[in-house]
Structure 1
């Protein structure tokens, strides 16, 4: 985690938290200072600094919580289970579900030093090194999907059956539940079509749910993943759905909020093509092809639009975790239209 918090945050009582951590977390010793990291639209993240070491605290946002969102306990459990496995994760230290401590659920993990690369075209990476970063991303996600959930105690982390159907229902419900952000005709139509045309599952694995480049911590100036971050949406499900979310970077235009690679000259940038990237993942996971990939991509763009719809709702309610929430929410129409186009490619009339 890059040691670059930008905003002082006064919503957490440092003295109260310090007293609790000194009692609950072995080896913790103050005095404690707290600063909030920039970015992140869901669960706010804070740097905890003591004279001896640094930690990171991740919490639910303050205020009203919609449905089952902001499940920090799931993040904690996933990272705890994967500690010491082939997939690199921060070491989690303690989970607190007592609202008396800071007013909301949170967990504390070790600070991981490294680089977060925010744009998939890797403008700050030398061209000759860019394929190595993409290969590291691809390998890390394939490694996650190759982990046996039962072997790490996550066999009950989610229901494997009908995963995609349940995901479509979940995100449709979450979108429709946020009345403050309003209803969108195209979102309603996509929700209905996706639910009526869901393909069968092709496998079961641990899924991250939000695997993109800015949720990876790379080692300083090296194409090696130091840690996979932001496990809020992790569960047991179809790895194709998870990979399709990651693959969205090839379908989203550059130059927009959360932009991707569409419209760029990948060869000139020395970046792998979508086809080559898919083939590398297939080779690593023992597949010869990925059936219904277009449907999974369409669903994931619908889901991403639903997430931005939720950010818009939080911004309107004043509970968004980032000052940039209104900027992110302004991209909602763009992502609804992208999801619409990809759903048409999947067969919607």
Structure 2
């Protein structure tokens, strides 16, 4: 380790030269540290020239789409500048791989905390703080869905035509590909076909495209330490142009209801005070002109899609390509998600 970061991940000399070329303040690096949080990408915080930065780059072991994901993230953060959406401000991005060997970008640090990592005081002792912050988390995704994606330069960012029509087939096909992994005996999800058929039969006929975060829940937000509010939405790697109501459905699928947020928030297992699902929906309706009459459908789709994504790690674990304990845990969450989806049918 050098200056608090592995030089194989971030070559500070090359980074300094690139920053100088961008007209950013020069000088020695200070307080360099690799941040915890985020399972896919690397975050490094540092100071230089009297300014603080957070660098985000792909993981050490690149996946096929790792660099493209970072390009898309940087483009979205740039497009959101000046909007009502709480997000880390983009400072500068390097969309090619010539500097550090990977795509990366620099963003403003956010003074906040992730609620799934534990609640500091006064959140931990005051239900009114948890309630107010929960409503602000809803406001954040409503604000995102209200952004005119074409006006902010994201008209070509996704493929909204046929977005809802593609979902069930797209994710059933993904599930089928897991069968190529030796040792995986196929999905043992009792409600799979029933949920898929219900989604196809009850798909909303009309909807309005917009910016989707793609993975919106309490593990992907930072809350303000000083006030009960949303400080920033983070981890934009699944962002696209689609139906923003799927973000609300995803939030509801993962929302803490009488116990832990499903799958990602064991620290919230015994925490009360968050708004109930009905209040979440009502709050979104206050902040958005979108038709919420089919919100149950979006919640079921979120359970379906997330469950299949998690099952992929279970399949890789069965093939010896991922930790067995993690795979078993995620399979259990998949079953819980499908069981939850079944209650809406």
1:228 aligns with 2:239: no
Q: Which residue of structure 2 aligns with residue 140 of structure 1?
A: 140
Alignment check: 8 A CA contact 1:9 1:35 kept: no
Greater Cα offset, 191-200 or 300-309: 191-200
1:131-179 deviations in Å (ceiling 9; x for gaps): 2111211212112112222222222222222222334444444555465
For residues 15 and 284 of structure 1, do their structure 2 counterparts lie closer, same or farther at Cα, with a shift above 3 Å needed?
A: closer
Partner of 1:158: 158
The equivalent of 1:4 in structure 2 is none
In 1, Cα distance between equivalents of 2:159 and 2:148: 15
Deviation for aligned residue 1:69: 8.7
CA distance in 1, matches of 2:268, 2:194: 22
- Answering whether residue 246 of structure 2 is matched by residue 205 of structure 1, we say no
Sort the Cα spacing of 1:102 and 1:285 in 2 relative to 1 into closer, same or farther, 3 A: same
Q: Return 5+ residue gaps in structure 2 as ranges.
A: none
Show CA shifts across 1:26-57 (max 9, x none): 22424336432223122222223335222112
Give yes or no for the alignment of 1:258 onto 2:253: no
Judge conservation of contact 1:115–1:221 (CA < 8 Å) in 2: no
Pair 1:278 & 2:281 matched = yes
List per-residue Cα deviations over 1:237-283 (Å, max 9, x = no partner): 1122111001123377528741379986x8xx333221122111112
SS of the aligned residue for 1:236 comes to: strand
Q: For residues 135 and 251 of structure 1, do their structure 2 counterparts lie closer, same or farther at Cα, with a shift above 3 Å needed?
A: closer
- Stretch of structure 1 that moved more, 42-51 or 85-94: 42-51
Q: Sort the Cα spacing of 1:101 and 1:67 in 2 relative to 1 into closer, same or farther, 3 A.
A: closer
Asked whether the 8 Å contact 2:11–2:100 carries over to 1, the reply is no
Contact 1:297-1:342 within 8 A present in 2 as well: no
Write out per-residue CA displacement over residues 95-145 of structure 1, whole angstroms, 9 at most, x where no aligned residue. Answer: 223334323222221222223322698862522322211121121211211
| Distance change (3 Å), C-alpha of 1:28 and 1:149 | same
**Equivalence for 1:131:** 131
Normalised TM-score (structure 2) = 0.80
TM-score by length of 1: 0.79
1:25 aligns with 2:28: no
Deviates more, 1:233-242 or 1:148-157: 148-157
3-state SS in 1 of match to 2:131: helix
1:75 and 2:80 aligned: no
Change in Cα spacing, 1:256 to 1:84, as seen in structure 2 (3 Å) is: closer
1:188-337, aligned counterparts within 5 Å?
A: 189=193, 193=197, 196-197=200-201, 199-200=203-204, 201-250=206-255, 254=260, 257-259=263-265, 269-286=272-289, 290-310=292-312, 328-337=326-335
Report the number of matched residues: 333
Distance 2:294 2:267 in 1: 22
Counterpart contact for 1:295–1:343, Cα < 8 Å:
no
The answer to whether the 8 A contact 1:149-1:206 is kept is yes
Contact 2:116-2:218 at 8 Å conserved across structures: yes
Distance 1:317 1:54 in 2: 43
